[in-house]
Structure 1
């Protein structure tokens, strides 16, 4: 199967083979390497032609790949071809010099050929396991624009530093409905405003989870569907706002596929970087702030730390809503001025970000709805929530923290609004972010829904909830949600 994605090197559209997650050039290099090995086993009359063609294809592909950038996944392919090359060329060279051609006995050549094929096959397997993410097509009526802003709260000291003059700063990426851009317009880089920022963030994320950085070098190569600083969609209407807090160590871009899908349906999504918590935050002055949140291994101590970090995130969310309200009213000059409806706002988050969303809603009644994407409810459980909540959870296993579901249920039952808990079969913790698009499809890691279905399920369920709570779209929300998993509904006052 072929799939069109923006080419990272120059913004043009090229084709990739989605089954192998390889570009045409990489695929040609793969074919050339395999043909080089197979030529040994062809009839004598075909060997010279196949060998020459294989070498030509391989050399040309490698030259072009060297210009645009060779991914590490291609190294075993090239290594296998390099081992096979002398054995493939030797008979041709000996024949040209008049010497008799020499070929190893089949029982000697077979193990070497199999070893080369095995080495070459490692390439497409690695490309499939760690691909350049291909973002799912958007289903909404709007094109999507994106922009990044940085705001400092003059009233809040930065608690992660000892400088008494340091004030809390957050970086926010906005995805919004936009006018359609001209054909050929370069799409936004994934993970950052620039390639340097994207590589900095990718390396930090890999380091945070203990992976070698080269394994995720496909992330900075990816392009999304949005366009930086695209013109806001016209029509005179104002768009509901959705704030998002990432998981522990996560970054503002970790749910890009989800944010773009919501924006294509007429929402403005504001995702936060939380400095000293997110793996890496690149500020406008060029400084990079790395995470300082480290678990101790002691459950009681870690619970207290998580509650404190959650409180900082909740304050960040409220501060950003204040800034967005000012922006919408024109107190902050921005292209989105006059396009934000801050009377219809949802607060959302993944993992610890979900906990922060719950705390922010408790403290700030400007938030009208809450979405918790598999987040353990850290921090106080009072006062009761007054907003409807949608909690999406992974499939519950014996390894799930036994405190998680009881604490989450207690939170939902005490709400004064109807709330929902949807457990999605086949989902894992990383199902609820972009992870399935670029990590190996290991069920314990990213779930078993697959790279296409994972983002679809998360977007479809959250869109149904947002349309009902913020846009008051008629219909049976419980019926829609129950189609995706095991649904529990908690009506107001059900714990009384």
Structure 2
């Protein structure tokens, strides 16, 4: 019902929320109606407001609707008073126009604020995956017994990552996974942390914390399809493993296993199995050279995380470690992807480890963190570079795409912003400077479509040139290896 109402109103309101807005509006307007209409309108708006407010309370009151409730609470007593006092010895008195006018304006502003806030910061509705498979998901925590945790000085503290898997599954009914976490508490913790990282009040992303995706937790792996290629994903700095859930679900529905990482101490919040929450310790120093060194260090740690997870997935496939996907993971066809700093980590991991057969960089600034030659093809999706973009971005990216022994493909997406390549357009205000001008789902279609076109070409048994397919998604530049 909520989805149907949203398509009708365009304001991301459920049916009960829409009725509440209409009832509050009618209560405010009753004062200005002809005498014969005031009573019926006041009584009807009171009844509808009470019923819809009760329904909203039962389904979960969103903060966006609080101003509407306040307006209804202010307007209804004045709208009902003349009706309830009808027949009294003294005729009921109405507020004079000079007092009623400002009060009506105030209530109108409060009512308008509700739909406006719901439109700007909605509960995200993730696009339905279009592939032939259903999608299952599960989350695991893995500790590298070899690497110390670089963010702490505690002896014996080993690097731990939380990994969420999306995989092809048989289509079956079942509860859909929460968007931001395994439990309601984890989703709220992560939502609050993301809001804080962005400088917003904690409640601002309550909609994202309440959302669900399309994957079914622990669903049976698809009976058909054999062994599935693997795509590892690293989020942006301060991001979380679920920040590209729509992309991951779409990729998985087409026959890939996606493994997205939480990187403790630079993800906004990572909830561990023992209940601890590790929050980001990322902070800018104010010195550009020092910040560059920090970014290179975080990139190197993330690249090591990605290589560790690929090793762990290989062990699961061989039956050396427990896992639902034993015998179904084709780690010989593994790609590594990431957004922003995660994209830089993906490029570095691909240069360091030939087990990665391809790399996808979603608007990530490459970091030079040591020797290593990329021998596999890479796709870089970027926003259009303008005068406000870092002038070093394109030269650095061009060098990275030309430094390997395989082609690099840069796809410039018109109308994109940095966050276009994530789920952010689904739940942040649709401001072009923030999330681009492609609408709520346009960026997702391009990002997922281009990624699939690239992976299908380069991970096939007989690799093909992805250039023709990629050109349909933006402005394509092919970078050939130097001297090639």
Same fold (TM over 0.5): yes
**1:457-468 pair list within 5 angstroms:** 457-468=446-457
Q: Which residue does 1:3 correspond to in 2?
A: 3
Aligned residue runs from structure 1 range 150-165, under 5 A: 150-165=141-156
2:218 aligns with one of 215, 224, 229: 229
Q: Secondary structure at the match of 1:3?
A: helix
CA distance in 2, matches of 1:248, 1:137: 27
**How far off is 1:475 after superposition?**
6.6
User: Is the counterpart of residue 490 in structure 1 residue 479 in structure 2?
Assistant: yes
Of 22, 46, 49, the match for 2:37? 46
The corresponding residue for 2:440 is 451
Residue 60 in 1 paired to residue 51 in 2?
A: yes
> Partner of 2:233 in structure 1?
244
**Residue matched to 1:409:** 398
Query: Which runs of structure 2 are paired with 1:289-308 in the superposition (5 Å)?
Result: 289-308=278-297
Deviations 1:381-417 (A, max 9, x none): 7433111010001121211111111000011011211
SS at the partner of 1:223? coil
Report 1:417-432 matches (<5 A): 417-432=406-421
Correspondences of 1:73-472 after superposition (within 5 Å)? 73-106=64-97, 108-182=99-173, 185-235=174-224, 237-380=226-369, 382-471=371-460
Quick check: 1:386–1:416 contact (8 Å CA) kept in 2?
yes
Maintained 8 Å contact 2:24/2:72: yes
* Kept in 1: contact 2:167–2:256 (CA 8 A): yes
Displacement of 1:94:
2.3
Structure 1: distance between partners of 2:451 and 2:458: 10
Q: Secondary structure at the match of 1:360?
A: helix
Contact 1:421 1:487 in 2 (8 A): yes
Post-superposition offset of 1:474: 7.5
Q: Which residue of 2 aligns with 1:34?
A: 25
Cα offsets for 1:61-91 (capped at 9, x unmatched)? 1122223321110011111112212221121
How far apart are 1:2 and its partner, in Å? 6.9
Structure 1: 5+ residue stretches without partners: 5-13
- 2:370 & 2:286 partners in 1: Cα distance? 23
Offset of residue 479 of structure 1: 2.4
Residues 132 and 438, structure 1, Cα contact 8 Å, conserved in 2: yes
Q: How many residues align?
A: 484
Q: Distance in 2 between matches of 1:130 and 1:106?
A: 36
Q: CA deviation at 1:294?
A: 1.5
Structure 2: unaligned runs, 5 residues or longer: none
Contact 1:248 1:277 in 2 (8 A): yes
Q: CA RMSD in A?
A: 1.8
Aligned 8 A contact 2:2 2:14 in 1: no
CA–CA separation in structure 2 for the residues paired with 1:286 and 1:408: 40
Cα distance in 1 between the residues matched to 2:462 and 2:62:
46
The CA distance in 1 between the partners of 2:211 and 2:87, in whole Å, is: 47
Q: Partners of 1:208 and 1:290 in 2: how far apart? A: 10
1: distance between equivalents of 2:296 and 2:203?
A: 34
Aligned to 1:10: none
Deviation at 1:379, TM superposition (A): 2.7
**CA distance, structure 1, for counterparts of residue 370 and residue 392 of structure 2:** 14
CA contact 1:244–1:269 (8 Å) conserved in 2: yes
Task: Note the C-alpha offset of 1:486.
Answer: 1.7
1:69 aligns with 2:64: no
Judged with a 3 Å threshold, the aligned counterparts in structure 2 of structure 1 residues 96 and 347 are, in CA distance, closer, same or farther, namely farther
Q: How does the TM-score come out when normalised to structure 2? A: 0.96
